[in-house]
Amino acid sequence: MIQAVARSRGRGRDVSRLRGRAAPRGTPGATLRDRVTRETTQPHTHMQRFINWDALEVRVDGARINALAASFRVDPIERMELQFFNGLLRVTGSIRKFISVPFTVDIREIRAKGRTVRVPIASASAFGALPIPQFLFSLAKNRLPADLVRFEEPATFVVSLDRFLPSFVDADIENIWIIDGGLAVTLGRGGADLPPSSEKSHG
């Protein structure tokens, strides 16, 4: 589901050169250097782990995200599918409200800070063209698991990742890009210990 490559910030490649990834908009050439200088002069707040990194780039497989999203489907959503394109996440499915209503939701950016991810909806339509009524978002909002997802007006889903990250991993998310076939994620400075089962089997 996740592929990862650790790298040093000072020697890292410009994210705009990574295959299949949309380059961040409005990124000046000195941004990476300035961020390295700023962060390396600040005190390290993360716990020291068995493995530590300055930055970690991971790719998350879209098919696995689809399967995970399906497990959290709530009424009135009948079905839902996520399609990943470079710079666009398209969600298609159907809503049951008196009749089955097909819908399409377009997401063009994902904002990450720490372990919280905000997903603003760029556009949403039913039957291919009609705007989705706001009350349908409200119906879904009232059925979402409160410890995982919440809904902010007018149209932003806020996801907490604490439930997904194991206790032996210490990392914050810096950036998420939508790419063909999934997501590209940059983790900030952090680390990880061996999973409890691994420690026991090697002890």
Task: Give the pLDDT of residue 34.
Answer: 46
**pLDDT of amino acid 92:** 92
How high is the pLDDT of residue 202? 46
Both structure tokens of 22: 């949309």
Q: Is the dihedral of CA 146, 152, 158, 160 positive or negative?
A: negative
The SS3 call for residue 198 is: helix
Contacts of 176 (CB under 8 A, 6+ apart): 110, 111, 112, 117, 183, 184, 185, 186
How far apart CA 141 and CA 146 sit, in angstroms, is 9
Q: What is the pTM of this model?
A: 0.68
Assigned token pair, 163 = 């439930």
pLDDT of residue 109: 96
Tell me, what's the pLDDT at 177?
97
- Structure tokens of 95? 């809503």
Per-residue pLDDT of the chain (203 residues; tens, 9 = 90+): 666 554 444 444 444 334 334 444 444 444 444 444 444 334 445 567 888 989 999 999 999 999 988 887 777 788 899 999 999 999 998 888 788 888 899 999 999 999 999 999 998 888 776 777 666 666 666 777 777 888 888 889 899 988 777 788 888 899 999 999 999 999 998 898 988 765 444 44
pLDDT at position 141 is 66
